[in-house]
Amino acid sequence: MNIIVLAKHAADPESEIRVSSDGKSVDEKGLVFDINDWDRYAVEEAIRLKEEHGGEVVVVGVGYSDDTLRKCLAMGADRAIKIPLDAGMDSYRTALAIKEAISGESFDLILAGLMSQDYNNALVGVLLAGMLDIPFATAVTSIKVEDGKIRVVRELEGGYGEENVLPLPALVTVQSGINEPRYVSIMGIKRAKSKELREVGVEVGEGFIEVEKVYTPPVKKAEMIEGAPEEIAEKLIQILKDRGLI
Amino acid sequence: MRVFAVAEINFGELDPVSVELLNLANTIKGDGSAEAVVIGSSISSHAEKLAKYADKVWKIEDASLENYNPELYVDVLLQLFQKEKPDVVLIANSSRGSEYAPLLATKLNAPIVTDIVGLDVSDGVKATRYIFQGKLLVDVLVKQADTYVFTVRQGVFKEEKQASGEVVDAGIKPSVTPKREFSQIIEPEAGEVDITQADIIVSVGRGIEDASNIELAEELAELLGGVVAGSRPVIDNGWLPKDRQVGISGKTVKPKLYLALGISGAFQHIMGMKDSELIIAINKDPEAPIFGVAQYGVVGDIFEVVPALIDKLREIKG
Ligand SMILES: Cc1cc2nc3c(=O)[nH]c(=O)nc-3n(C[C@H](O)[C@H](O)[C@H](O)COP(=O)(O)OP(=O)(O)OC[C@H]3O[C@@H](n4cnc5c(N)ncnc54)[C@H](O)[C@@H]3O)c2cc1C
């Protein structure tokens, strides 16, 4: 089973997020980058499928992604392809670039994260499936391989799921919690050094969006309770008493 | 402008987001039309209901459309859109909508923007959406195209815009055999505690840091006579069972008190708890979006505030 897995080097939403002075982008200072959380689950799932069914795992990153690709190699991916393209927020260009870059690869399955933790578009996977004209499923929480097919469960609202069967080759985007991603071991890091990380340049035309403005959302503020922990506790208890909750 | 809203049907029921899509359609259509598309089997009553908000409702009915399938949905929509040329197509940013919308966009060669919370078509096409899990907003200009596809966040366009349209049978049947086969619906797992029935919920987020710290929340919940629930990462990490997840892909709760500990307040979480009678949030980040839905907020460390709260409650209970 040959698997291509997409991994993005993405800013952590928990890092310090500020608008740049041009008002059109996010200030990179203060941002902490790492493998996109959803992709971490996708890489783990790819490696597990390979461990069970054999084959090869090729990880693909768009833009600056060296650290993330190395991490994926250390987790157990076999080789990496880096596409040096700054697609910004435009998922269409990202998907098109990936399509071009993997055109010489043979694969049974493409795995991607449901979305990226920075822009939350949830587009690259399905756009790529559409461009490649292969069956797909999103927000998948379980994958089982059955000869030439996969049986997947995808997440619906309210705790429900739906089971679908897809012939291979197919593309799946995974939802968080599908597995427990492994830690990167020292041995893994050592072994990763000798693995191939190939750069593939591709030309993609213009995208379809242009950022006009990035800004902080207005928030309706809660009434803030201040003081030392004991004072806060007392005030909270008073609120609960007033409401008859204790 | 011809704006088409594709209705969302879940388990045979019309999802309220379908009307929200039409509200947006009516806001942006100008002197054009707001048209609904309903896909499924036995959907006449849904179509009638939508006609109260649309200029026209297109019904695409077939037994093979009973269960959602992205390939079939896109196939029938393409057939309709080849004849009735839409300028804008609105689809719910739901589990299903967000799955087939990008495929539809690729086939229509249309630009797509997902999870929008605002749309302005008065001077070019401009969509507004959140990035970084709700921390920032962005306005994006979409390149000129014949058709645009948007997926729309639920719960945003609630102001109802009445109309009175007719229901038309589109006379369309699926023309492809989908490669992906639907197999079955899987019911949510039932646990020992039903958080939807609880009056008091102590809910923990990633800020709780570790499974062993759940005890702290449990102690507090016990003193308050409530139960412990959590945000998605807490459940993904296996610190609490799946049936304790509050949010869009978990449970919707409406307790008398919702105490949010170390929860950032991502949209998917808020959707599951915003109707609680009293929301109190404790978070060390003063900018956390959870303070936007809470009545009372504490900027502080839960590992300092919660123990203090537990001590005071113990004193009271004696
Ligand atoms: C399709 C889909 C469905 C989803 N469904 C759900 C769902 O049903 N429910 C859900 O909850 N999420 C859901 N999510 C995930 C959601 O987008 C967020 O990732 C999630 O809600 C974040 O959880 P959190 O607030 O616990 O974690 P984080 O966003 O990581 O926030 C942790 C917070 O804790 C605070 N903190 C850290 N340490 C402390 C401390 N010591 N004291 C005080 N505060 C502290 C931090 O400031 C931060 O605000 C879904 C996502 C997708 C894409």
> Mind listing the pLDDT tens digit for each residue in B256-287?
999 999 999 999 999 999 999 999 999 999 98
Q: Is residue A215 part of a domain?
A: no
Q: Is residue A126 part of a domain?
A: yes
A217: Cβ–Cβ under 8 A, 6 or more apart, which residues? Answer: B130, B134, B135, B136, B137, B289
Q: Is residue A192 part of a domain?
A: yes
Indicate the domain borders of chain B.
2-169, 195-317
Q: Is residue A213 part of a domain?
A: no
pTM of the model: 0.96
A contact test, residue of B126, B130, B140 with most A CBs within 10 A: B140
Equal CATH topology for B2-169 and B195-317: yes
Q: Is B97 in the pocket of ligand 1 (CB under 6 A)?
A: no
Q: In this predicted structure, what is the pLDDT of residue B84? A: 97
Tell me: the pLDDT tens digits for B85-100? 999 999 999 999 999 9
Asked whether residue A219 carries a pLDDT value surpassing 80, the answer given is no
What's the CATH code, domain B195-317? Answer: 3.40.50.1220
Q: In this predicted structure, what is the pLDDT of residue B190? A: 83
Q: Is B303 in the pocket of ligand 1 (CB under 6 A)?
A: yes
Spatial distance between the Cα atoms of B249 and B269, rounded to a whole number of angstroms: 9
* Contact (CB<8Å) B304/A229: yes
Return the structure tokens found at A238. 């008073």
Q: Is residue A39 part of a domain?
A: yes
DSSP secondary structure letter of residue A104: T
Tell me: the pLDDT tens digits for B184-241? 999 998 888 999 999 999 999 999 999 999 999 999 999 999 999 999 999 999 999 9
Q: Is residue A236 part of a domain?
A: no
User: B227: closest CA among B204, B198, B270, B269?
Assistant: B198
* Contact (CB<8Å) B130/A220: no
To the nearest 10°, report the CA torsion of B304, B308, B311, B313.
-130
pLDDT confidence of B318, banded at 50, 70, 90? confident
Tell me: the pLDDT tens digits for A40-49? 999 999 999 9
What is the fold, at CATH topology level, of the domain defined by B2-169? Rossmann fold (3.40.50)
Q: CB B275: neighbour CB atoms within 10 A?
A: 13
Judged by DSSP in three states, B216 sits in helix
User: Could you tell me the residue range of the domain that residue A190 belongs to?
Assistant: 2-199
Distance from the Cα of B307 to chain A's closest Cα (Å) equals 9
Domain count, chain A: 1
Q: Any alpha helices (H) in chain B, and if so which ranges?
A: 17-28, 44-50, 70-83, 97-108, 214-224, 232-236, 267-270, 302-317
Spatial distance between the Cα atoms of B147 and B303, rounded to a whole number of angstroms: 52
Residue A15 belongs to a domain with what CATH number? 3.40.50.620
Q: Is B197 exposed, middle or buried (0-12, 13-18, 19+ CB in 10 A)?
A: exposed
Spatial distance between the Cα atoms of A200 and A63, rounded to a whole number of angstroms: 11
Q: Which residues pair with B186 in a beta bridge?
A: A161
Share of chain B above pLDDT 90, in %: 96
N- to C-terminal Cα separation, chain B: 68
Q: CA of A241: how far to CAs of A233, A237, B131, B219, in Å?
A: 12, 6, 39, 19
ipTM reported for the complex surpasses 0.90? yes
pLDDT confidence of A213, banded at 50, 70, 90? very high
